[in-house]
Copies of this chain bind each other. A is one copy, B any other.
């Protein structure tokens, strides 16, 4: 269970930054200084720093040093909080399919992990209304491996994420998304009560969670003519 040297240095420096021992704008020790402090060669010191730069913790400056960067952890397009908190008040949700066993559908746009493919797939599908207007069709796939009793109980306060957090102590730690403008196909058009050929905003999301065995794959189809999808953030 031995760690490599450069990872050791890398983690040490990362910890120092996260604990605030190096503030934004500060310079880390130079490569040569790391060499003598940790009894390593410059090759190893460089590798540790290069990794930090790749994770955008620091910024390397030729002739100057490695400066701690402002870290923008931010901006999931849909914030992680989910739909309910993003839009106003009068939201209704209609389950088209309650959570049940499903299959890893080819409709999922983002690459599905192998470990997920080899485990049971759970699926549910909802439509979100603002007032009486359907605005979003939401399809969700995830592994049921780590969620015992999931199918037997209702969502807490109607929220999937809240259920994960409060019942299973699983948090969202990241996401990747892809956005596409598409024309509504027959089926989705019908569900969203728009004409075929209406432009829809198609959002594909893959959520990573604090449980490495649970990833959530969502395909969202949004009618944006009246209610555009929005978000904002400030550092």
- A binding-site residues for B, Cβ under 8 Å: 54, 70, 72-81, 109, 171, 173-183, 199-202, 204, 208, 222, 224-225, 228-235
User: Which B residues are CB-close (under 8 A) to A77?
Assistant: 78, 177, 179, 231
How many copies of the shown chain assemble into the complex?
2
User: Which B residues are CB-close (under 8 A) to A73?
Assistant: 233-235
Which of B70, B80, B228 is the one whose CB lies under 8 Å from A180?
A: B228
**A231 to B80 Cα, complex, angstroms:** 13
User: Which B residues are CB-close (under 8 A) to A176?
Assistant: 230-233
Who on chain B is nearest to A229 by CB? B179
Which of B78, B181, B233, B234 is the one whose CB lies under 8 Å from A181?
A: B181
User: Which B residues are CB-close (under 8 A) to A174?
Assistant: 232-235
User: Which B residues are CB-close (under 8 A) to A228?
Assistant: 109, 178-180, 204
User: Which B residues are CB-close (under 8 A) to A234?
Assistant: 73, 173-174, 208
Given A54-B54, A183-B199, 10 new contacts (CB under 8 A) = A73-B234, A75-B78, A75-B80, A77-B177, A109-B228, A176-B231, A179-B224, A179-B228, A179-B230, A181-B222
User: Which B residues are CB-close (under 8 A) to A233?
Assistant: 72-76, 174-176
**A78 to B105 Cα, complex, angstroms:** 27
A179 touches B180 (CB 8 A): no
Who on chain B is nearest to A182 by CB? B199
User: Which B residues are CB-close (under 8 A) to A231?
Assistant: 75-77, 176-177
Cβ distance A133 to chain B, nearest Cβ, rounded Å = 15
B74 touches A225 (CB 8 A): no
User: Which B residues are CB-close (under 8 A) to A78?
Assistant: 75, 77, 177
Task: Given A175-B232, A234-B73, answer yes or no on A180-B201 (Cβ-Cβ < 8 Å).
Answer: yes
B177 touches A200 (CB 8 A): no
